[in-house]
Chain A
């Protein structure tokens, strides 16, 4: 099981990491992405989903997704099959 699957995440975007005790807040878009990452979706699928649900171009969504995954990696929340 990957790191993301072990996180406790509520609907408001509050995230608790039981391993480190760290907590995080994530906005609506971030929560949307994390949900897809947990389901093991590919980056392209996520980009497509973002541009379908939100008012954003695929190009902008792709750029933001790269940055968001970079943030998750820096916080140590991406590992194993998600990397």
Chain B
């Protein structure tokens, strides 16, 4: 009987290094053999590696958690799914089933929502660049449009003339809520008086009906107080508009920006400690609303939460292709997934789980992707036991932005599967092949090669 094997490791001992959490990374090891009951190996055998895996159970659970937090505290709430966070049909369909409307920021996203069967009046159309034709369509179909700049007011007035209707619109505001960086490039600034000028401009034109205010203060906001400031300023401004111009503000859209339980690089505390709960955000928002609204007035509160809902429902399975030793002594692994499909690796430190028990002491290592590019680093320093070739790593949370911002660069984009609530596994996006990439290419006759 042979003895169990452990890869040979030698570690230099350092004195004077303290670890106040008492749990050295050398002993922390997270194993995950399945996702929602489906073995990791089975998923890879069937759909290949790397592989994005979404959990329908987790997605619905997360949405209901956010929904409950707000609807328990305020009587009139709408959730609008931020398409740019993840516009895979299957993901959008799950959230539309749960009652979310669609929040889009381009004609492409608008068309994708319509194609999926979302009625125009269940779409919120945001963004700084709305081509004229898309405004015509959106007005015709009754979408809610939040205006970003003065040119767009003029465009919409033209659409109103063309169609002979009075479109109901919102305007986007930007404001100081005490957080940095302050997003000032979208919409009209509140403090400078620009927002009020926009309202004056709309009122004097007489062709648009102002019915909503929109604001989105930033992304991955860790301070719930900022939302309280945002809400109070929106309510005050709404009443100024109502009292001075006779419009009725039907909705206050506070955007999104709620964080997920992901670890931002540069933040020392783990996300369980650093990220406030959704209840805390809901409490601040709703109590600010209820304390500043006039009696009997309950305008619709719209939330465009994206990351907070989908991020934790997404996993990426990736395979160790090679191990190497850098001249610095650091161990390095080459994975089959890199920043081409993990855009968020630039600012997040993912949770890394291993698909099997691996014996041996953890050592510091760096995880590289498969690209022949120096920037392709998935994790610049983590602690893992000596991993044999072929080990699968499960990275999470990766459900937000990765499958929309991924690039077809050097490698094909991998398959995406959804695990249903009863453990059924559905392919929701096939892995790409050469035909996807060359479909739009044209080679001039004179350049045809004759080898």
Residue numbers of A with Cβ under 8 A of B are 15, 22-30, 32-33, 50, 52-56, 60, 63-65, 67-68, 70-72, 74-75, 77
Partner of A56, one of B5, B12, B323, B361: B5
CB pair A54–B5 under 8 Å, yes or no, is yes
CB pair A22–B5 under 8 Å, yes or no, is no
Give the docked Cα–Cα distance between A52 and B2 (Å).
7
**Which residues on A sit within 8 Å (CB–CB) of B4?**
54-55
Give the docked Cα–Cα distance between A14 and B323 (Å).
26
The minimal Cβ–Cβ distance linking B184 to chain A, given in whole angstroms, is 50
CB pair B325–A71 under 8 Å, yes or no, is yes
Give the docked Cα–Cα distance between A32 and B10 (Å).
12
CB pair B13–A24 under 8 Å, yes or no, is yes
Give the docked Cα–Cα distance between A60 and B9 (Å).
14
Identify which of residues 312-329 in chain B touch chain A, using a CB-to-CB cut-off of 8 Å: 323, 325, 327-329
- Please classify the interface of chain A as helix (H, G, I), strand (E, B), loop, or mixed, using the class held by over half of its residues: helix
CB pair B8–A33 under 8 Å, yes or no, is yes
Question: By the criterion of a CB under 8 Å from any partner CB, how many residues of chain B are at the interface?
Answer: 23
Give the docked Cα–Cα distance between A77 and B329 (Å).
13
**Which residues on B sit within 8 Å (CB–CB) of A55?**
2-5
The minimal Cβ–Cβ distance linking A73 to chain B, given in whole angstroms, is 9
CB pair B325–A53 under 8 Å, yes or no, is no
CB pair B329–A71 under 8 Å, yes or no, is yes
From known contacts A29-B8, A55-B4, infer whether A60 and B13 are also in contact, taking CB-CB under 8 Å.
Answer: no
Query: Per-position contact with A for B7-30: 1 when CB-CB < 8 Å, else 0?
Result: 111111100000000000000000
**Which residues on A sit within 8 Å (CB–CB) of B329?**
71, 74-75
CB pair B10–A64 under 8 Å, yes or no, is no
Residue of B nearest to A51 (CB): B2
Identify which of residues 125-156 in chain B touch chain A, using a CB-to-CB cut-off of 8 Å: none
**Which residues on A sit within 8 Å (CB–CB) of B323?**
63, 67
CB pair A64–B2 under 8 Å, yes or no, is no
CB pair B3–A70 under 8 Å, yes or no, is no
Residue of A nearest to B363 (CB): A71
Give the docked Cα–Cα distance between A24 and B13 (Å).
5
CB pair B2–A68 under 8 Å, yes or no, is no
CB pair A27–B9 under 8 Å, yes or no, is yes
Query: Per-position contact with A for B286-324: 1 when CB-CB < 8 Å, else 0?
Result: 000000000000000000000000000000000000010
CB pair A25–B3 under 8 Å, yes or no, is no
CB pair B9–A23 under 8 Å, yes or no, is no
CB pair B8–A30 under 8 Å, yes or no, is yes
**Which residues on B sit within 8 Å (CB–CB) of A26?**
8-11
**Which residues on B sit within 8 Å (CB–CB) of A71?**
9-10, 325, 329
The minimal Cβ–Cβ distance linking A46 to chain B, given in whole angstroms, is 10
Give the docked Cα–Cα distance between A28 and B9 (Å).
9
Identify which of residues 1-60 in chain B touch chain A, using a CB-to-CB cut-off of 8 Å: 2-13
Give the docked Cα–Cα distance between A27 and B360 (Å).
7
From known contacts A27-B360, A27-B361, A60-B388, infer whether A72 and B10 are also in contact, taking CB-CB under 8 Å.
Answer: yes
Give the docked Cα–Cα distance between A75 and B331 (Å).
13
Give the docked Cα–Cα distance between A55 and B5 (Å).
5
A-B contact pairs, 30 of them (CB 8 A): A15-B10, A24-B12, A25-B10, A26-B8, A26-B9, A26-B10, A27-B8, A30-B9, A33-B8, A52-B2, A53-B2, A54-B4, A54-B5, A55-B2, A60-B5, A63-B389, A64-B8, A65-B8, A67-B8, A67-B323, A68-B7, A68-B8, A68-B10, A71-B10, A71-B329, A72-B10, A74-B325, A74-B327, A74-B328, A75-B10
Give the docked Cα–Cα distance between A25 and B10 (Å).
6
Using A25-B10, A65-B8 as known contacts, list a sample of 19 further A-B pairs with CB atoms less than 8 Å apart, ordered by residue number in A: A22-B12, A23-B13, A24-B12, A24-B13, A25-B361, A27-B9, A29-B6, A53-B2, A53-B3, A55-B2, A55-B4, A60-B388, A63-B389, A64-B7, A64-B386, A70-B325, A71-B9, A74-B329, A75-B10
